[in-house]
Amino acid sequence: MKWSTSLIGLFVCLTTLVDIVPVNGAENPRIIIVGAGAAGIAAASRLYQKGFRNITILEASQRLGGRIRTTPFGGGIVELGAQWCHGEQGNVVYQLASVYSGLLKSSIIADEDAVLIRSTGVRVSEAVAERLQTMAEGIIESEGRDTFDGSLGEYFTQQYWKQLATPAFKDISRDLAEQFLVYYHNYERGYTAYDTWYEVAASETDSYVEPAGNQDIAWNGRKGFSTILDIVSGNHPGTTNQSLTPVPLSKLITYGKFVSSIQWKGSSDGDVIVKAQDGTSYEADNVIVTVSLGVLKENNATMFTPALPAVNQRAINGLYFGTVNKIFVLFDAPIPEDFPNTVHLLWYKSDLAALRQSPYAWAEAVSTFFRIDNQPNILMAWMNGAEGRRAEYLRDAPIREGILHLLKIFAKNMTFGNIQGLLRSKWSSDRLFRGSYSSRSITTENLNTGARALGTPVRNAANEPVLLFAGEATNPIHYSTVHGAIDSGFREANRLINYYS
């Protein structure tokens, strides 16, 4: 470590005088942040805003934002990754963005209940849909889960059929009950990114704490969700909060650096040696790793020297990292008026069997169609599970045909315009992500691990925190979200700020 005792004294002294500590560059601890997603930007910004100046962010791609990927399309923007701010209280995204008027608004999908449409094109009545949905949510939230020895899928199906056998549901036909079950499973997979709910223990300690308030808040403006990165780094026009010093991100970030090796017991004086795949090498006092859990799963065995401690490795192996994907379809006319804002797809068994035999078999992955905010000509299809992952490898033409096939089935009597363009995410096949977001599975439970274990800092022989971990998957209560990622970046920055003060 290059951080001398006398300088620590000076630092402490200055910290008590002013919040922002202008420390001398040469003696400043050299901090490398791997990854310029929400967690990396948050960590760098907090450190910079507290006076740390020797910060380098190594980012493998040519852009910042990671799984926040606001992309121009159809004359406006779409979000290939994070789209909605989920909740208000206790949500750092909402806290930071809601002070600027007009940035956030309730999404159109929050304004209207989702509609269930069967593969005959017939809608399930609102009252029936609501009863089934309430019953299903009740099962998911029921206390019986805690003591059930089996998977969530087994628990859910047992409870579901039990409830359907009661007089309260005697009007529900067997067909509809089966269709709803298949749909609900697909819908749950969208939230959690599991391939199947048979991979999840019923007793899974789902520690996610939902921030209270509106769960579907959309962004206004051309920068969409990326706006949060400007706000966190003090670069949003009109920033008035003095604690948000503008952070010169373009100077701090070096793009095109795929970090392939981190020697955390690197040299005799305690430096950490970070190497990128292009052969460049960096020395640091501390490294904050913010790459996705998918990247850690794929690379951790070769990325860290020595190998990570067992606690971190177990978490990398035990936590689940699944995939959801989106397809945006641009039409040359607005989506028909009578097409609801959210449509869930319910398949008759025979129709699903026919789909599986057709060239559009991949389309089974689509659970839901959404209209999107501010873009009346665009429809979004949400894809889950292994079929959705496999669809990443298809060309656009069969995807386009599959979407048209679904619309012919589920929006029978509606006339859509011609498709003008298609844009889709491929989170799993992208080596910089290898999936969409983290969750907990039976393996997580069996290995008795979790987000906290993943975020355990690695210390060197002198007990200095040389290797730290941030990113959504390290957040025990807000994993799988942007607010979770930002909180985790702040957490690790604060760890270093406390360490050096």
Ligand X SMILES: Cc1cc2nc3c(=O)[nH]c(=O)nc-3n(C[C@H](O)[C@H](O)[C@H](O)COP(=O)(O)OP(=O)(O)OC[C@H]3O[C@@H](n4cnc5c(N)ncnc54)[C@H](O)[C@@H]3O)c2cc1C
Q: Which residues bind ligand X (CB under 6 A)?
A: 34-40, 58-61, 66-68, 81-84, 86, 257-259, 290-292, 295, 324, 326, 425, 427, 432-433, 436-437, 471-472, 480-483, 485
The least distance separating ligand X from the CB of residue 323, rounded to whole angstroms, comes to 8
Give the list of residues 6+ apart from residue 492 with CB closer than 8 angstroms, or none.
Answer: 43, 288, 455, 457, 468, 469, 470
The least distance separating ligand X from the CB of residue 109, rounded to whole angstroms, comes to 11
CA end-to-end distance (rounded Å), the chain: 15
The least distance separating ligand X from the CB of residue 189, rounded to whole angstroms, comes to 13
Q: Which is nearer to ligand X, 21 or 451 (CB)?
A: 451
Question: Across the strands, what pairs with 321?
Answer: 438
- Taken in order 10, 16, 21, 22, the sign of the CA dihedral is negative
The least distance separating ligand X from the CB of residue 79, rounded to whole angstroms, comes to 7
Q: Which is nearer to ligand X, 46 or 257 (CB)?
A: 257
* Element at 283 (helix H, strand E): strand 281-284
The least distance separating ligand X from the CB of residue 416, rounded to whole angstroms, comes to 24
* Element at 377 (helix H, strand E): strand 375-384
Give the list of residues 6+ apart from residue 34 with CB closer than 8 angstroms, or none.
Answer: 40, 57, 58, 259, 262, 274, 287, 288, 289, 290, 291
Give the list of residues 6+ apart from residue 363 with CB closer than 8 angstroms, or none.
Answer: 355, 402, 403, 405, 406
Q: Which is nearer to ligand X, 373 or 472 (CB)?
A: 472
The least distance separating ligand X from the CB of residue 150, rounded to whole angstroms, comes to 29
Give the closest residue to 262 by CA, choosing from 235, 296, 227, 230.
296
- Which runs of consecutive H residues, i.e. helices, occur in 50-116? 92-97
From CA 473, how far away is CA 479, in angstroms rounded? 5
Q: Which is nearer to ligand X, 32 or 355 (CB)?
A: 32
Q: Which is nearer to ligand X, 164 or 274 (CB)?
A: 274
**Tokens 């641009």 label which residue?**
330
The least distance separating ligand X from the CB of residue 425, rounded to whole angstroms, comes to 6
From CA 264, how far away is CA 287, in angstroms rounded? 9
The least distance separating ligand X from the CB of residue 470, rounded to whole angstroms, comes to 7
Q: Which is nearer to ligand X, 23 or 97 (CB)?
A: 97
Q: Which is nearer to ligand X, 58 or 442 (CB)?
A: 58
From CA 4, how far away is CA 21, in angstroms rounded? 16
Return the ∠ at Cα 346 (arms to 375 and 352), rounded to 5°: 115
Q: Which is nearer to ligand X, 82 or 244 (CB)?
A: 82
